[in-house]
Amino acid sequence: MSLLSATRRYRAVGVACAVALLTGCGPEFTAVSGKVTQKGRPVVYGTVTVIGSDQATYYTTIQLDGTYSVAGVPVGPAKFAVYSPDPYYEPPVPPAVKARMEEARRAAGTTPPPRPPKGKWFRIPPKYADPVTSGLAVDLEGPTAVFDIRVE
């Protein structure tokens, strides 16, 4: 084997390794799900917010059984928040404004989350509504991740 062919072989291996490293370092994503509870009771209404490792914000609604699921969140460190406003509070909005809001909601194709049965909703501390103050954080790994959120 000549010195020239060995050099070419090492150069080719080096280029192949560099390409593999560069293409294999792309972001991986996960679907994170879990249950939101306070003192063992499911939080039955609201939203879960996730700030992913890409610093983007992801939202999902909490189901009536307290479960949530968010797909497409990048793996790595993530911060969570839980917002659960009173589902029966009706802000004082003029009827014309309310009608426009409802029309815009229908045009967007969204549906409001189902209201829980009366007496099932309870207030959670406001600190959990902000991912910065909630103290809820986890490192997400793999194609699926489970993170049960317990608020106190």
* pLDDT tens profile 19-29: 444 444 556 99
Number of domains into which the chain is organized? 1
Range of the domain at 133: 28-151
Q: Is residue 57 part of a domain?
A: yes
Residues 17, 22, 25: CA angle, nearest 5 degrees? 120
Predicted confidence (pLDDT) at residue 93 exceeds the cutoff of 70: yes
Predicted confidence (pLDDT) at residue 94 exceeds the cutoff of 70: yes
Give pTM, 2 decimals.
0.76
Q: Is residue 12 part of a domain?
A: no
* pLDDT tens profile 21-79: 444 455 699 999 999 999 999 999 999 999 999 999 999 999 999 999 999 999 999 99
CATH number, domain of 51, equals 2.60.40.1120
Nearest Cα residue to 43 out of 78, 26, 68, 12: 68
